[in-house]
Chains A and B, each alone.
Chain A
């Protein structure tokens, strides 16, 4: 084998996918699917009661071909809006992304300056540590009732939940990055009589940027995990609500499509931040 490694890896990936789809197709094809008749010994009344699934032996689990067809249909018109329970996939995704970006954006604005403060001051670092240690492990959804009660708006509550879950990794990483800026770089700035504000922007920020970006990347991942659950609770719009709604409609096909979309979107968000991280990373 003289093919480059990434070509070989891609080949294996494609084979795995093909294998998975084949098994899926085989498992959902069922046995008596083509016979059309009732299974031997089944009461016709009972068959009527149970509906098509029982009578044909076909599983409610859609085959990959069904999913692919439905996916094309949904993607061909992603932005239709036919009332509160029937919106295009694009609209649902846009609602979720909007909430995530808003909550996450506010978290960046809070966490980075606060992390700077904690990282630069040993006093603040120790004083705030117990609060952070207690608040950090709380599941973001545990805040939901409190948010709903105080904010009295389910949309803003979802944004608050995103904010609270994405703030901690950024805060801790910023504080760590700022605190571990090499002393010699700070000494360079000191011997050049660089003022504290200029020092923060020209030495500490670039030095801590890779660590801060790592925190931001962890946070966007968590935020995207949490938005699905939050939208299932608050309802109305969003990809999480879509999943729950389609479950109530018993449309497993749409649920699977939503799962796929959530995964791809999460990957895109992660890759965007990875690209930004590469921009600010410096080789030593």
Chain B
């Protein structure tokens, strides 16, 4: 899986000035790459620099050392090739749904007529199921609908890569599930390359092909890359009945609870920043060790 690296992060580090003239290193020597059409999730505790990694990919932030590369070009500043879905949806409240999506479309296609922009925007508003609400303002929408507009806006510029910063974390469980289904459907249909931050282990297992585990900051590193063993045609309803589901889930939870703290102090034999270990947890229907029954 190393032949055509579509996106690659090469040895990036980010440091901030700390009080007392010292610097705090959020993360250092981070390596990671993605293929075209990959859906990658990054998991780690707060403060490990997940959002900073995403901002570097978006071009909103720059690494102090190293580089981020997409499609053979170094990322230097924001670009219409990479769309961001923000955690707080970040809709412009003085514009309608259509106005928000059109704003993105007309930025992408500056020569298009107003009518063409409108038609294109409406196509994506329909795609996320908001037809009929296009003249509403964000304040008239529910949280889930707002995030749908954010998704429509990001997809409408037909980016090479989609960056999502905890897009569903502010939503209730029911809405979150529906939106996860739709994002997964759209991304599979369009072969979208996606990089997503999440805190939700189940969300990561459902959506991602590969899950990047980051240790706690400061000086966070990529501990390992988990390849999702579940079949590509998994469904949210019966995902917990998949034979490998608990193996992955327990692996991820173990990491978040235990190993994210201890990993750095005892790096495994032969650990290489450039090639963090790739694991593929499998193994039958293991009952949850701590009687965890929330999968239902």
Q: Which residues of A contact B (CB under 8 A)?
A: 182, 184-185, 187-188, 190-194, 202-203, 206-207, 280, 282-284
Interface residue from A187, A202, A206 paired with B90 (Cβ < 8 Å): A187
From residue B159, how far is it (CB to closest CB) to chain A in Å? 9
Q: Contact at B94–A206, with CB atoms within 8 Å?
A: yes
Chain B 60-97, CB-CB to A under 8 Å as 1, else 0, gives: 10000000000000000011101110101010111000
From residue A282, how far is it (CB to closest CB) to chain B in Å? 4
Interface residue from B80, B86, B93, B108 paired with A187 (Cβ < 8 Å): B86
Residues of A within 8 A of B78 (CB): 187, 190-193
Main secondary structure on A side of the interface with B:
helix
**Residue B263 interfacial (CB < 8 Å):** no
Across the two chains, which residue of chain A brings its CB closest to B139?
A: A283
From residue A201, how far is it (CB to closest CB) to chain B in Å? 12
**Residue B107 interfacial (CB < 8 Å):** yes
State the CA gap A192–B103 with chains docked (Å). 9
User: When A187-B86, A191-B78 are in contact, do A282 and B93 touch as well, CB less than 8 Å?
Assistant: yes
Across the two chains, which residue of chain A brings its CB closest to B163?
A: A191
Q: Contact at A188–B93, with CB atoms within 8 Å?
A: no
Across the two chains, which residue of chain A brings its CB closest to B82?
A: A191
From residue B143, how far is it (CB to closest CB) to chain A in Å? 13
State the CA gap A191–B165 with chains docked (Å). 14
User: When A282-B93, A284-B93 are in contact, do A184 and B137 touch as well, CB less than 8 Å?
Assistant: no
Question: With contacts A191-B82, A192-B107, A193-B79 known, what are 15 further pairs, Cβ within 8 A?
Answer: A184-B86, A187-B90, A188-B86, A188-B90, A188-B92, A190-B59, A192-B80, A192-B157, A193-B107, A203-B92, A206-B94, A207-B92, A207-B94, A282-B94, A283-B137
From residue B267, how far is it (CB to closest CB) to chain A in Å? 35
Shortest beta-carbon contacts, A-B, top 5? A283-B139, A192-B107, A184-B90, A282-B94, A282-B93
Across the two chains, which residue of chain A brings its CB closest to B60?
A: A187
Residues of B within 8 A of A182 (CB): 90
Task: Report 18 cross-chain contacts, Cβ distance below 8 Å, ordered by A residue.
Answer: A185-B90, A187-B78, A188-B86, A188-B92, A190-B78, A191-B58, A191-B60, A191-B78, A191-B80, A191-B82, A192-B107, A193-B107, A194-B107, A203-B92, A206-B92, A282-B93, A282-B137, A283-B93
**Residue B48 interfacial (CB < 8 Å):** no
The count of chain B contact residues (Cβ–Cβ below 8 Å) is: 22
Residues of B within 8 A of A203 (CB): 92
From residue B146, how far is it (CB to closest CB) to chain A in Å? 11
From residue B85, how far is it (CB to closest CB) to chain A in Å? 10
Chain B 96-107, CB-CB to A under 8 Å as 1, else 0, gives: 000000011001
Across the two chains, which residue of chain B brings its CB closest to A192?
A: B107
State the CA gap A7–B79 with chains docked (Å). 57
Q: Contact at B139–A284, with CB atoms within 8 Å?
A: yes
User: When A191-B58, A193-B78 are in contact, do A282 and B90 touch as well, CB less than 8 Å?
Assistant: no
State the CA gap A99–B60 with chains docked (Å). 48
Across the two chains, which residue of chain B brings its CB closest to A188?
A: B90
Total residue contacts A-B, CB cutoff 8 A: 55
State the CA gap A283–B95 with chains docked (Å). 11
Q: Contact at B93–A191, with CB atoms within 8 Å?
A: no
State the CA gap A284–B83 with chains docked (Å). 23
Q: Contact at B137–A191, with CB atoms within 8 Å?
A: no
State the CA gap A134–B94 with chains docked (Å). 36
Residues of B within 8 A of A206 (CB): 92, 94
Residues of B within 8 A of A190 (CB): 59-60, 78
Across the two chains, which residue of chain B brings its CB closest to A195?
A: B107
Residues of B within 8 A of A192 (CB): 78, 80, 103-104, 107-108, 157
Chain B 33-55, CB-CB to A under 8 Å as 1, else 0, gives: 00000000000000000000000
Q: Contact at B92–A191, with CB atoms within 8 Å?
A: no
Residues of B within 8 A of A184 (CB): 86, 88, 90
State the CA gap A191–B137 with chains docked (Å). 22
From residue A205, how far is it (CB to closest CB) to chain B in Å? 10
Across the two chains, which residue of chain A brings its CB closest to B100?
A: A188
Residues of A within 8 A of B108 (CB): 192
Residues of B within 8 A of A185 (CB): 90, 92
Residues of B within 8 A of A191 (CB): 58-60, 78-80, 82-84
Residues of B within 8 A of A187 (CB): 60, 78, 84, 86, 90
Q: Contact at B103–A202, with CB atoms within 8 Å?
A: yes
State the CA gap A182–B59 with chains docked (Å). 18
Residues of B within 8 A of A284 (CB): 93, 139
State the CA gap A187–B78 with chains docked (Å). 9
Residues of A within 8 A of B104 (CB): 192
Residues of A within 8 A of B107 (CB): 192-194
State the CA gap A284–B141 with chains docked (Å). 10
From residue A153, how far is it (CB to closest CB) to chain B in Å? 43
From residue A208, how far is it (CB to closest CB) to chain B in Å? 11
Residues of A within 8 A of B82 (CB): 191
